[in-house]
A and B are shown apart, each in its own frame.
Chain A
């Protein structure tokens, strides 16, 4: 047993850390540190800096621009990104849509979309949830009816993150209502500029505009935008769910937040507060090792992680929320400056983490069924 990174891994980490220190623009780092709003331009600016370096999509195959790093190196890099205070790489294109195209897309689809995703030419969003279909995703109703060379799409998506920035949306749509409901779902790519699409903001309780409702009203989508076969959308969705779930713990970012919190709260000697802070720090230490144990297993077996990897999402998001909670508690109740307001808003905003990307209850269902066999 050896819990330490190897000399090569440490050298890799140092290289990534040094490069990030030299290339992460100060304004962007400042915004992340102050929990300030990141514009589309901010996100794309950082995306393009990484793309130019060749580091924006490490997990992709080398022929499409991947780095060829192993799972541990990828994890180290992701952690360094978080730790450096970089803006997030929005996952919908690079991580999600690309993973689907690489696995199920036609050659034409790969050639058409992957380079544009890589270079940040297209901004993607994800059309999964619907007003009546949250955790029970297979009940989705947005309909796509084939008419000649096109599908005509009608329906509504909800909680669509950054749809107001997006050039494209990948959607789960219903192409058949006759059989088993999972078999009637298809995976389709839709240009957001197509007539009939309306994006309406949903303002969350922190006052921010991040998610949207997206309405489809007789939207004409070329049939060539279907990914995989018609009726195989559920297979695609399940593949995506099991793919690349190693950074859901967001350990690097939480470590950075913890350091900030410890500095911020250093004058609070109140034992009850210190104990809560210590317990959270311990949980994060444990999660980091648990995460490394998963990586070590993946590296040795060459297999993707099992369903129990859901525990990283559960624990990681609980830690993220715990950090914002302690920040708010550490604030001077009378403070009303910009930083204090941003912290309180962040507390409100981070309640989403245990709900999105498969609520933590759904994650527990997954472990219960797939790992424990209940």
Chain B
């Protein structure tokens, strides 16, 4: 039993935090909302992109626990770079692509030459991974995709897409180019896109729904870790505000009504952290898919609840300032709002947890 990051994980997280504090402050972040080549290059230099790639393809073979510290730091700084979409899509390629494709694409990801996205969500599907309408039909030695994917994270910056689509033999995964994309930012500033496929040429990858579920569980565990970082930022900012903001001649943190609420925020955040540890550990190592699903479901329920609780209280305790565009806490609020529902909200995972 050991709840610490190992030395390598901690060193990497520390140097990432130092970099983000110096070069990715809240003010600097505003300027790079469209994604910054410089920031990406720095992530590559630090080895963040190589970390999850297997050693066969120029990486370090890291798992979710290795990425957890990075995601926490990203959450604290509200990093908008499309790191997670790239990692998730490269995971699907590593598991489903031909050796030749892997040798072509994965080193490119590790070296920062290629960003990826996983085009999975469709309008009306909500969080149901099996509700795939996008169609794949065989045409000679390749496949053709038809349909629409929505709110694909990181797609505007992606060089290639992994797409889920339905063929005659069920749901499959396909490697495709993005052609027709409408880009926009979510309420949290994250770049995403709606993509239309019309007889778009694609290459089939191995793996179907179980692999998609695994990839989404992996992403959900990491978004839990990112949520933990964002919650830490919200808690710390609120505590600082309670100590400095004066009303009635005293810091508002002297009022017990507020003290107890901020204590409950910290407890929520700690409980959430515990569950993020569990989720990341279990996506790395589970005896059965059910064990993994159970851990991720439980974690995502707790993180979703905590994200709502902590973010809403953070804004409330900041008073009017919490509502303002210029305060970081209002942006943390937006990110936590999105994280609560990313890859499935509490209701979705409550249903899955109860069914397991």
Contacts and interface: CB of A to CB of B under 8 A. Distances in A.
Whether A and B are associated in the same complex: the answer reads: yes
Contact of B350 (A275, A373, A374): A275
Contacts of A241: none
Residue with the highest number of chain B CB atoms closer than 10 Å, among A6, A286, A314: A286
Q: Is the interface of A mostly helix, strand, loop or mixed?
A: helix
Given A1-B65, A372-B263, A286 B243 contact: no
A367 B263 contact: yes
A28 interface: no
B215 interface: no
Nearest to B275: A286
A285 B298 contact: yes
Q: Is the interface of B mostly helix, strand, loop or mixed?
A: helix
Interface stretch (A166-174, A175-183, A290-298, A329-337): A290-298
A72 interface: yes
Contact of A374 (B262, B272, B302): B262
A310 to B, nearest CB: 9
Interface stretch (A150-158, A188-196, A230-238, A276-284): A276-284
Give the interface residue-count category, chain B.
35 or more
Interface string B232-271: 0000000100110000000001101001101110110011
Contacts of A283: 271, 302
A9 B305 CA distance: 33
Interface in A43-71: none
Residue with the highest number of chain A CB atoms closer than 10 Å, among B68, B271, B278: B271
B100 interface: no
B90 interface: no
B288 interface: no
Given A285-B278, A372-B262, A315 B271 contact: yes
B1 interface: yes
Contacts, number: 116
Nearest to B255: A374
A314 B302 contact: no
Given A1-B65, A281-B298, A368-B262, A9 B1 contact: yes
B298 A3 contact: no
Given A1-B281, A290-B271, A314-B267, A278 B350 contact: yes
A373 B243 contact: yes
Contacts of B278: 3, 285, 289
B304 to A, nearest CB: 10
A287 B273 CA distance: 10
Nearest to B281: A3
Give the interface residue-count category, chain A.
35 or more
Contacts of B1: 2-6, 9, 72, 292, 295-296
B24 interface: no
Contacts of A147: none
Contact of A372 (B239, B277, B302): B239
B274 interface: yes
B354 interface: yes
B208 to A, nearest CB: 28
Contact of B4 (A1, A72, A271, A314): A1
A287 B254 contact: no
A371 B354 CA distance: 36
A72 to B, nearest CB: 7
Nearest to B355: A274
A368 B263 contact: yes
B353 interface: yes
Given A367-B266, A368-B262, A374-B254, A293 B275 contact: no
A42 interface: no
B301 A279 contact: yes
A143 B256 CA distance: 32
A145 to B, nearest CB: 36
A76 B28 CA distance: 48
Contacts of B305: 279
B139 interface: no
Given A285-B278, A364-B263, A278 B271 contact: no
B318 to A, nearest CB: 15
A365 B2 contact: no
Contacts of B275: 282, 285-286, 289
Contacts of B4: 1, 296, 300
A364 B4 CA distance: 26
A374 B271 contact: no
B298 to A, nearest CB: 5
29 contacts: A1-B6, A1-B68, A1-B280, A2-B1, A3-B1, A3-B277, A3-B278, A274-B354, A275-B347, A275-B354, A277-B354, A279-B305, A279-B350, A282-B353, A283-B271, A286-B298, A289-B275, A289-B278, A292-B1, A295-B1, A296-B3, A308-B266, A315-B267, A315-B271, A364-B260, A368-B256, A368-B259, A374-B243, A374-B254
Interface of B: 1-6, 9, 65, 68, 239, 242-243, 253-254, 256, 259-260, 262-264, 266-267, 270-275, 277-278, 280-281, 298, 301-302, 305, 347, 350, 353-354
Interface of A: 1-6, 9, 72, 271, 274-275, 277-279, 281-283, 285-287, 289-290, 292-293, 295-297, 300, 308, 311, 314-315, 361, 364-365, 367-368, 371-374
